């Protein structure tokens, strides 16, 4: 039932940038020029697709604005009757220079890719200079009346997830639609979910700062979920290709620079339109070939959501992938066992379903939830009195958007008993692995910052300050750890302080385990906390 009225045409495989998530440093292997579509061939195919119902064409790449005849191609496309929108997705480097001519030729929508607002980070991620040219391009587009100017920002953990609020501010005085795109690990076999920040997590971070964020209505075929800060000129959107794919309403087709038709971004090329064109196929034949390819389009994309048959071996680098494998496999088993709802209900009275799965708390729609919502069997209701469950009894994060900001702090502690020998070596800084106390201190600080990623229902909150100190207690041959965290926000930091103390303690263990395994970690506890509705706490 999907109407494919949107065609994306890649004008070139080449690019003047080398974004780390898209291209290798040396660029992609290039197809010989003679095998690429000429402008004339592009227009012939475009005419055919428009005749068959395509209403929107997006020019993309590689970088479409490095193709010398791009203005001419736009000018020719404008003449196609029935084509309502000609759009371009560009990295923005050549935009300010070309835009007046492109506009005159008929270009009426622009997406500009920009993943950071920090020039040095821009140079790092795209491996080239040019930040100011992109910003100039964005301003030029707004000056020339493009409304909204879409800014594509691929959000990557550890790179730019701390810039979400900066990008939201960018929409304050400019008519932009900043679109936060979930990073896609393109190579389906080499899972790299670690870099992906889910839509839910981004929204949570933004709502903490902007609790009044308004949800905007969206079109059926739109891939974006849009929001707006009241009174801001622009808006923000999320492209949730990973956590909530939109295959069911996908209306897109793609033609690659060498003339292959792709009916799905994640599928292989279906058919070479270039070869058929060059061997003299008639218009009717081409329409039939295209129709057959579209008819073979799958219900949803493969690759990303295919769970490997065998559990990947656990290494230091891929623990997240292995956990995801376990979560997804477990969910599959769970779905199988939930097929007979009546039997399940007989066997499990309300509130007593036991699911043997460490990800049983994944809420519907979360990135860990693989449930097909249409066919999902309902889990019995849990008590309405529980604060961290949804209406179906599954664990969910509390929405803290409505809580007032206040200053919050927490102090936690832990003790690591090392025994006499290891203790002596730590004191003399003689451990082969290095300076135990210094490494553990850094680990504790890192741990505090990573808490929301480690503890499932913890919010991702901005920490104003983290301090971890380690001292030696000769009477117990122990390292005594104390961590303190502070924030100005809507939720407390006790989990951050406890995670910091725990991580520091585990690091002490790791640094000393070559000398002895008789190490005891004890007294991991909250020492005090201030701020928040439930008042202060202090251990006496």
Binding stretches for ligand SAM (CB under 6 A): 15, 21-22, 60-61, 63, 89-91, 113, 152, 154, 181, 183-184, 186
Alpha helices in 61-177 (DSSP H): 70-78, 95-105, 119-126, 131-143, 164-170
Positions marked active-site = 510
- Position 201 contacts ligand SF4 (CB under 6 A): no
Q: How far apart are CA 483 and CA 505, in angstroms?
A: 11
Minimum CB separation from ligand SF4 for residue 63, in Å?
5
Minimum CB separation from ligand SF4 for residue 19, in Å?
3
Q: How far apart are CA 404 and CA 504, in angstroms?
A: 32
Q: Based on CB atoms, which residue is closest to ligand SF4, 63 or 496?
A: 63
CA separation, residue 49 to residues 42, 82, 390, 413 (Å)? 11, 10, 46, 66
> What SS3 state is found at 64?
helix
Q: How far apart are CA 412 and CA 477, in angstroms?
A: 20
Q: Based on CB atoms, which residue is closest to ligand SF4, 59 or 324?
A: 59
CA separation, residue 78 to residues 7, 16, 55, 142 (Å)? 14, 26, 11, 21
Q: How far apart are CA 45 and CA 283, in angstroms?
A: 9
| Residue found by looking up tokens 């066997």 in the block | 347
Partner from ligand SAM, ligand SF4, none contacting 18, C-beta within 5 to 8 A by type: ligand SF4
Q: Based on CB atoms, which residue is closest to ligand SF4, 153 or 168?
A: 153
Minimum CB separation from ligand SAM for residue 184, in Å?
4
Partner from ligand SF4, ligand SAM, none contacting 152, C-beta within 5 to 8 A by type: ligand SAM
Q: Name which position in 12, 49, 63, 253 contacts ligand SF4 (CB under 6 A).
A: 63
Partner from ligand SAM, ligand SF4, none contacting 213, C-beta within 5 to 8 A by type: none
- Scanning 19-27, 184-192, 205-213, 285-293 for contacts with ligand SF4 by CB under 6 A, the matching segment is 19-27
Tokens for 470, please give them: 């380690």
Cα–Cα–Cα angle for 321, 322, 327, rounded to 5 degrees: 95
> What SS3 state is found at 373?
coil
> What SS3 state is found at 499?
helix
| Residue found by looking up tokens 């039997």 in the block | 343
- Scanning 61-69, 161-169, 238-246, 276-284 for contacts with ligand SF4 by CB under 6 A, the matching segment is 61-69
Total residues binding ligand SF4 (CB under 6 A): 11
Tell me the residue length of the chain.
Answer: 540
**Residue 272: what are its φ and ψ, rounded to 5°?**
-90, 105
- Position 450 contacts ligand SF4 (CB under 6 A): no
- Position 62 contacts ligand SF4 (CB under 6 A): yes
Minimum CB separation from ligand SAM for residue 170, in Å?
16
- Scanning 17-25, 68-76, 160-168, 405-413 for contacts with ligand SF4 by CB under 6 A, the matching segment is 17-25
Q: Based on CB atoms, which residue is closest to ligand SAM, 181 or 414?
A: 181
Q: Based on CB atoms, which residue is closest to ligand SF4, 167 or 183?
A: 183
User: Which residues would be at the binding site for ligand SF4 (CB under 6 A)?
Assistant: 15, 17-19, 22-23, 61-63, 91, 113
């Amino acid at each position: 039932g999907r109407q494919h009225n949107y065609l994306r045409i890649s004008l070139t495989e080449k690019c003047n940038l080398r974004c780390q998530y898209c291209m290798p440093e040396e660029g992609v292997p290039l197809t010989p020029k003679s095998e690429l579509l000429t402008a004339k061939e592009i227009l012939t195919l475009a005419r055919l697709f428009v005749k068959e119902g395509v209403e929107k064409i997006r020019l993309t790449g590689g970088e479409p604005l490095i193709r010398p005849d791009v203005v001419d191609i736009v000018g020719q496309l404008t003449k196609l009757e029935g084509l309502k929108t000609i759009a371009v997705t560009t990295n923005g480097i050549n935009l300010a220079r070309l835009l007046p001519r492109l506009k005159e030729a008929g270009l009426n929508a622009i997406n500009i890719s920009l993943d950071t607002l920090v020039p040095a980070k821009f140079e790092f991620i795209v491996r080239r200079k040019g930040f100011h040219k992109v910003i100039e391009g964005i301003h030029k587009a707004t000056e020339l009346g493009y409304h909204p100017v879409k800014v594509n920002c691929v959000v990557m953990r550890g790179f730019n997830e701390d810039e979400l609020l900066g990008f939201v501010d960018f929409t304050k005085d400019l008519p932009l639609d900043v679109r936060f795109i979930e990073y896609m690990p393109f190579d389906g076999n080499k899972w790299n979910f670690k870099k992906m920040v889910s839509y839910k997590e981004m929204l949570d971070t933004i709502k903490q700062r902007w609790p009044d964020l308004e949800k905007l209505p969206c079109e059926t075929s739109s891939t974006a979920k849009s929001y707006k800060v009241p009174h801001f000129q622009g808006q923000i959107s999320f492209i949730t290709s990973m956590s909530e794919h939109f295959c069911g309403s996908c209306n897109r087709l793609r033609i690659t620079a060498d003339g292959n038709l792709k009916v799905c971004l994640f599928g292989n090329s279906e058919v070479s339109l270039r070869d058929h064109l060059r061997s003299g196929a008639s218009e009717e034949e081409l329409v039939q070939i295209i129709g057959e390819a579209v008819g073979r389009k799958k219900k949803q994309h493969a690759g990303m959501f295919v769970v490997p048959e065998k559990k990947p071996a656990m290494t230091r680098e891929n623990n997240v992938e292995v956990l995801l494998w376990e979560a997804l496999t477990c969910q599959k088993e769970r779905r199988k066992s939930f097929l007979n709802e009546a039997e399940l209900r007989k066997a499990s009275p309300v509130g007593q379903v036991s699911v043997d799965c460490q990800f049983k708390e994944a809420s519907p729609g979360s990135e860990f939830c693989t449930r097909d919502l249409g066919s999902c069997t309902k889990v019995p209701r849990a008590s309405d009195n529980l604060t961290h469950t949804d209406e179906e009894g599954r664990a969910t994060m509390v929405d803290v958007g409505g809580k007032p900001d206040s200053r919050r702090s927490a102090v936690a502690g832990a003790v690591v008993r090392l025994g006499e020998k290891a203790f002596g070596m730590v004191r003399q800084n003689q451990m082969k692995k290095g300076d135990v106390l210094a490494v553990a201190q850094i680990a504790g600080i890192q741990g505090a910052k990573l808490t929301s990623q480690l503890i499932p229902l913890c919010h991702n909150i901005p920490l104003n300050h983290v301090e971890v100190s380690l001292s030696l207690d000769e009477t117990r041959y122990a390292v005594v750890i104390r961590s303190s965290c502070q924030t100005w926000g809507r939720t407390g930091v006790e989990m951050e302080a406890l995670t910091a103390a725990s991580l520091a303690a585990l690091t002490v263990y790791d640094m000393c385990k070559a000398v002895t395994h008789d190490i005891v970690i004890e007294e991991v506890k909250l020492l005090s906390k201030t701020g928040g509705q439930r008042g202060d706490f202090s251990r006496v």
